[in-house]
Amino acid sequence: MDSALIPKGVKRCSIGQFALFMGFFGAIALWGVYAMLLCWLKGLNQTNMNDYYGFALWIWADLAVIALGGGAFFSGFLKYIVGKDELKNIINYAVLIGFICYSSALLILAIDIGQPLRGWFIFWHANVHSMLTEVAFCLSCYFGVLTIEYIPLILENRQADKVPFFHKLSHNMHENMAIFAATGAFLSFFHQGSLGGVSGVLFGRPFGYREGLFIWPWTFFLYTWSAAAYGPCFTVLVTKITEKVTGKKLVKDNVIELLLKISGWMLFTYIIAKIIDTWYWASVTAPAAGFSLIDFYSNNPFYGIWILLLEIVIGGIVPALILITEKGRKNKFAMALAIILAVIGVCINRWVMVLQVMAVPVMTFDSWVMYFPSWQEIATTILPVAYGVLLIGISYRYLPIFPQEIELNPIEEDTVADKDAEGDVVVGENLVEATEEG
């Protein structure tokens, strides 16, 4: 039915299956939209946030998706600036994932603020000394860049490409992509950093506060570094999930391995820097405020020293060691383990730098306060995930996202896209039709 829109030379599942898949994730997204409307119409009393947790699940989600979306700027930087040309085979997907992550972050921010209609005040009454101002500016600009990077992909759709204007536009945009990639990398270095600065500058909160260089706390540099290190792991993880769901190989191993090798070394150097930072903070910065390391990890029902170990050892050292060795990258299981642990690692880092900062009592007569999000917060946090799956579903079906797909999955005729898949397929497990050769 929609075969005219499907790229030439590739095979896609039946429209019915696709509709089922979209319907399932669409329903989840609708649930999120409902929760979002509740928050907008009734206010943030719909959440379990309180005056101790002014920053909670949403801010974590923001920081996490932006770190995970870091694969877009870093692979763009590697391809266009450093000249790693093989990465052209994954860059489209990295851009798409980045686009999803950043649009999600902006959406979550729009739900998170108490007066959404005044959101523009951050630009209009900008306080240039605030990390959040820098975040807002760079994030919006970079989202613009990602949109520019995503547009030529949309224009490559079989039907859009037939329009000469679109064809030329997309061609010209491709030609100039290096400029956008460079701009994107520049903006990313700043907003990833300022996101790190968000907690790093809080000198009233000894758990988050870090010393630094001039106006930038160490977390500024650590966040940029970690986004460059962990972002590509997420790009690869999503690629691998997509391959599993579609039952096809979409990107050649050498491309994945190259990206993971660079990511691994970034991770390795990052985690060394992170350990030094943690050591300095635990032995100099926090003690100067009267805190010992263990104060941050005791006398409460949840935050133990395990979370620090989970972040640094399990989510940092282990994946780094796997990814810097060729054997590790080539071993399917080890590689999968590494990218999953890495994604967990960065999410935990962002979690503690938001939630644990809020949880730790600072006044001696104050106490630890725990928090669990309300269903509205959870639904609105799942919303971007569902939205991401939907956008990936549409983009994969109708746009030539993976340049190596045709070569890796040769088919005899290009009309099969219309053909019904055989047998029942469980929605969510099988995005597109599972071809035998996958």
Binding site for other proteins (CB under 8 A): 43-45, 49-52, 54-55, 112-116, 118-119, 121-122, 124-127, 129-133, 136, 198-199, 201-206, 287-292, 295, 357-358, 362-367, 369
Closest distance between other proteins and the C-beta of residue 123, in Å? 9
* Shortest spacing between CB 363 and other proteins, in angstroms: 6
DSSP state at residue 379: H
Beta carbons of 93 and 396 less than 8 angstroms apart: no
**Cβ-based nearer residue to other proteins, 208 or 400:** 208
Which of residues 293 and 427 has its CB atom nearest to other proteins in the complex? 293
Closest separation in Å from C-beta 143 to other proteins: 17
Q: CB-wise, 115 or 423, nearer to other proteins?
A: 115
User: Which are the contacts of 141, defined by CB distance < 8 A and separation ≥ 6?
Assistant: 187
Q: Given the complex with other proteins, which of 366 and 418 has the nearer CB atom? A: 366
Helix (H, G, I), strand (E, B) or coil at 257: helix
Q: By three-state DSSP, how is residue 212 classified?
A: strand
**65 versus 136: smaller Cβ distance to other proteins:** 136
CB of 71 to other proteins, least distance (A): 27
Label residue 202 exposed, middle or buried (CB < 10 Å: 0-12, 13-18, 19+): middle
**3-state DSSP call for residue 216?**
strand
Nearer to other proteins, 56 or 228 (CB): 56
Minimum CB separation of residue 44 from other proteins in Å reads: 6
Shortest CB 128 distance to other proteins, Å = 9
For other proteins, the closer of residues 121 and 306 by Cβ is 121
CB of 377 to other proteins, least distance (A): 13
Radius of gyration in angstroms for the set of CA atoms belonging to the chain, rounded to a whole number: 22
**Could you please report the per-residue DSSP string of 273-341?**
HHHHHHHHIIIIIHHHTT--GGGGGSSSSS--HHHHHIIIIIIIIHHHHHHHSHHHHHSHHHHHHHHHH
Please say which residue, 26 or 119, places its beta carbon nearer to other proteins. 119
The least CB distance from residue 291 to other proteins, in Å, is: 6
Q: How far is the CB of 136 from other proteins (least distance, A)?
A: 6
Q: Which is nearer to other proteins, 202 or 273 (CB)?
A: 202
H/E stretch holding 179? helix 177-200
Min CB(197)–other proteins separation in Å: 10
The beta strand positions in 59-135, using DSSP E, are: none
Closer residue to other proteins, CB minimum distance, 235 or 376: 376
SS3 assignment, position 73: helix
Q: What distance in Å separates the CA atoms of residue 29 and residue 49, rounded to the nearest whole number?
A: 22
Give, as one character, the DSSP assignment of residue 126.
Answer: -
End-to-end CA distance of the chain: 24
Count CB neighbours of 211 within 10 A.
14
Q: Which residues contact 309 (CB under 8 A, 6 or more apart)?
A: none
Cα angle value 399/405/411 (rounded, 5°): 105
**Is the CB of 185 or the CB of 353 nearer to other proteins?**
353
CB under 8 A, 24+ apart: contacts of 81-85: 81/178, 81/181, 81/182, 81/185, 84/258, 84/262
What is the token pair recorded at 104?
Answer: 């999600």
CB of 346 to other proteins, least distance (A): 21
